[in-house]
Amino acid sequence: MKKDEKKASISASEMTDKDMRDILVELQDTNYWVAITALIAQVDTNAINTLASVDPFKEPTLTARTQGQRMGLYYIRNFIESEVKRRKDGDKEAENKGK
């Protein structure tokens, strides 16, 4: 069994926080990541259009759901990008300490 196949077979209950972070970081620089960010951009555009066309006082539930959807998508994208940056910065610090 290949390393990637093993990761794909981990159930959510067996997955550690480190496993999750490692798998999410591996998405960066792949076609999967391009597709995910394109979907996030599409959904975000739809959400912005919804928020612009809805009266928040007449439809507070729809407004709140739409805002929550945007925040959730932002969180996922930001989490992955921050984790990648943190690891790159950590690698640079390790290199500098080794010099």
Ranges of each domain in the chain:
56-99
pLDDT reported for residue 9: 72
Among 39, 65, 66, CA closest to 50: 66
pLDDT reported for residue 1: 40
Exposure of 66 by Cβ count < 10 A (0-12 exposed, 13-18 middle, 19+ buried)? buried
pLDDT reported for residue 12: 82
pLDDT reported for residue 96: 72
Q: How far apart are CA 36 and CA 87, in angstroms?
A: 21
pLDDT reported for residue 69: 93
pLDDT of 54 > 80? The answer is: yes
| Averaged pLDDT, 5-28 | 80
Q: Judge contact between 80 and 27, C-beta under 8 A.
A: yes
pLDDT reported for residue 47: 94
